[in-house]
Amino acid sequence: MILGSFCQSLAINFGYQYSGSIGPAYYSFLTTASWSLMTVLLLLFCYIFSGKSQYLMRQSLFETAFNGVAAFCYISSCSYLGMIVNSVLYPMYTVTPFFQVYPAMTGTYILGTIVGIIHGYDCYKSYRFFKGYR
């Protein structure tokens, strides 16, 4: 949750001015980070206020499906964003002094990939819990 919100704030603070040149990769990543963060906050809210819901949600297919879709979306949108950042923003970074957007957006897609891997691992653990392997 913390890494996802950090990625989203980096993308909003540094990438918004160049969203026209980055194109759909920026909006794809921002959409992925937003819906994933909102669902994680909703699940965290349910887990905090009801211990029984934590056990029931871990047994359901929802958490497995959510984490699988989130992992796929994070990894695919980060690879797309990484390709665009390196092909569009890197040339600007080499000629413009103190161009802070390239390092920030590079950190964004690297941290987003890490968040995708974490969601993938949680999907694996949720699936094992769903099948009864505790």
pLDDT band at 134 (very low <50, low <70, confident <90, very high): low
Q: What is the three-class DSSP state of 100?
A: coil
pTM score, two decimals? Answer: 0.89
pLDDT in tens, 52-104: 877 777 778 888 999 999 999 999 999 999 999 999 989 989 998 888 999 99
Residue of 122, 104, 127, 117 lying closest to 74 (CA atoms): 117
Cα separation, 116 vs 93, whole angstroms? 27
Describe the chain by its helix, strand, coil percentages, rounded to 5: 90, 0, 10
